[in-house]
Amino acid sequence: MWTAAELRHSRVRLGGTVWRAVEAQHQTSTRRLVDTAAEQVRLEELLEGTKPAYPSGAQRLDYLLASPFRYGNPHGSRFRPGGQRWGIFYAGETVHVALAELAYHRMRFFLASAGTPLPRQSATLTVFAVRYATAAGLDLSRLPFAEYQSRWTDPDSYAHTQKLGVTAVEAEIDALRYRSARTREAQYNVAIFAVQAFADDRPRTRQTWYLYLGDQEATAFRALAGTREHHAFARSDWAL
């Protein structure tokens, strides 16, 4: 594995538009607890006071961009070990790969509980785009990192990627580009480690999508687009 000094020497310019898909539950979860819109605003204010503080520089960002930097994750993620306080904004270079990542993790969530049926209703998603740009990036599709592609795309183990993520933070890497483990074809994700890598303060585009988890595949449809804009992901491709 590389040292922080070696990663700093391997930094490249990265940038472009990336997409992220999130469940839209944040828009409605507190409304059912109160009687009026004014009470919901007050409840949200009270809840805000109990949440962890944003890291320096994140206050300027829309909450959709800033939230991943606010919370720890006891279970970890692809490039962050569990228990670390620093955050990562994960996104895809296409809508397809962003949806694939969310669909996989949502499917895994329900399958983790034996005997729990998949939901029979579709989940509402917010899919949004944002630009980023940095001179302190790492591209795992380039040498020397590309030689170890199987480590970065292991569908089940994050051991190698988490070690790399810790070293990347030590090396002050802002963003990291890597191949997705959740698409059959080669598509790429971006992990943003530093809020200064965002070229936008807020999403440039927001879309509403519906995600249905079926016994054989997960299917995502864009709202108001009929059947013209949809993506399907076979469970067999994920070995689930």
Worst-scoring range by mean pLDDT, 67-71, 120-124, 212-216? 67-71
- Say whether pLDDT at 85 is over 70: yes
pLDDT digits (tens, 9 = 90+) for 37-61: 786 777 776 666 667 777 888 889 9
- Say whether pLDDT at 33 is over 80: no
Rounded Cα distance, 104 and 83, in Å:
23
At residue 123's C-alpha, the angle toward residues 18 and 206, to 5°, is 35
SS3 state of residue 222 = strand
Please tell me the predicted confidence (pLDDT) of residue 115: 81
Please tell me the predicted confidence (pLDDT) of residue 167: 98
* Confidence category of residue 172, pLDDT binned at 50, 70, 90: very high
Which structural domain, as residue segments, surrounds residue 36?
4-238
Number of domains in the chain: 1
Structure tokens at 199: 């070229």
Gyration radius (Cα) of the chain, Å: 18
